[in-house]
Amino acid sequence: MKIAFIGYGEAARAFTDTLKGKGEAEFTAAYDILQDESIASEARSRGLRFEASVEAAIADADWIFAAVTADQSLEAAKSALAYLKPGQLYIDINSVSPGRKKETAALVEATGAVYLDMAVMAPVHPRGHATPVLLAGKTAKELEPILAAHGFAFETVSEDVGDATAIKMVRSMFVKGLEALTVEVMLAARSSGCLDRVMGSLAETFPGLGWPKNVEYMFERTLRHGIRRAAEMREVAKTYDEIGLVGRLADAIADVQQNQGKVPAKDLSKIDLPDAIAEIVEQRLSLNK
């Protein structure tokens, strides 16, 4: 079973690391729209060819993982349409709205290839491909034995594309929203000179969140992954709009994630947290000018 990737970022690399040597999995090639030597090196170090075109990357693949940024998921699929062959499996792990996955599935299935909606439900490190995922699609049930044999941790939601990603998108409003809310409250508290009082009050009201470590964690996640999370939250906004609810809330969360992602990442465990927050306030304010 030959596996190729369209998009070779964090998720693709994590899947490669843990899938290698499992069952009949054999990695062949990767393509990334960023033809960057650092990405090429990551692929080659794992035994993959790093190709300059989608055509070359997926030509001999049985399985194709699409693992790009949310805003590029449809374009990634379109770039592969002319080269997909009947029987190839296109596994879409991108964090996008149900409508986007349905649109992509229609295009992919028109080529004779098989489409699988796979929603990754937790950070991909350290479990890689064994990270819990939800599946939806016409052949999801048929694929269960081979996925199980290769160590995937999955649950099939339904035969309807979009049902798996709907769960992730709706849930992401809470997860990424809690990150954004925590970050903005702490930044505002530091700017207002009341950080200790605000954090102390919240710790009394919500002791189970584990203060102040949860603040450190929220900042780490948004600083390191804010740009990618912002793209995902734009898709969450579309999801809520599709069902007639408040998509603009997700857009506001995306704005916070985007702004955090523009600030240089740092290891907050090695910095006094109030000092780190004060520094981030200054960097955020300078970005707003």
Number of domains in the chain: 2
Do 193 and 137 lie in a common domain?
A: no
CATH code for the domain of 202: 1.10.1040.10
CA distances from 180 to 2, 36, 84, 250 (A): 40, 30, 39, 10
Helix (H, G, I), strand (E, B) or coil at 284: helix
Could you report the per-residue pLDDT of 97-126, keeping only the tens digit for each? 999 999 999 999 999 999 999 999 999 999
Q: Are residues 219 and 180 in the same domain?
A: yes
Q: Are residues 141 and 179 in the same domain?
A: no
Average pLDDT over the chain reads: 95
Per-residue pLDDT tens digits for 236-286 = 999 999 999 999 999 999 999 999 999 988 788 788 999 999 999 999 998
- Please compute Rg for the chain using Cα positions: 20
> What domain range is 107 assigned to?
2-161
pLDDT tens track for 14-62: 999 999 888 788 999 999 999 999 999 999 999 999 999 999 999 999 9
Strand partners, 118: 135
The reply to whether 212 and 79 lie within a common domain is: no
pLDDT in tens, 172-203: 999 999 999 999 999 999 999 999 999 999 99
User: Of the residues 116, 133, 161, which one is the last residue of a structural domain?
Assistant: 161
82 and 25 fall within a common domain:
yes
Residue 76: CATH number of its domain: 3.40.50.720
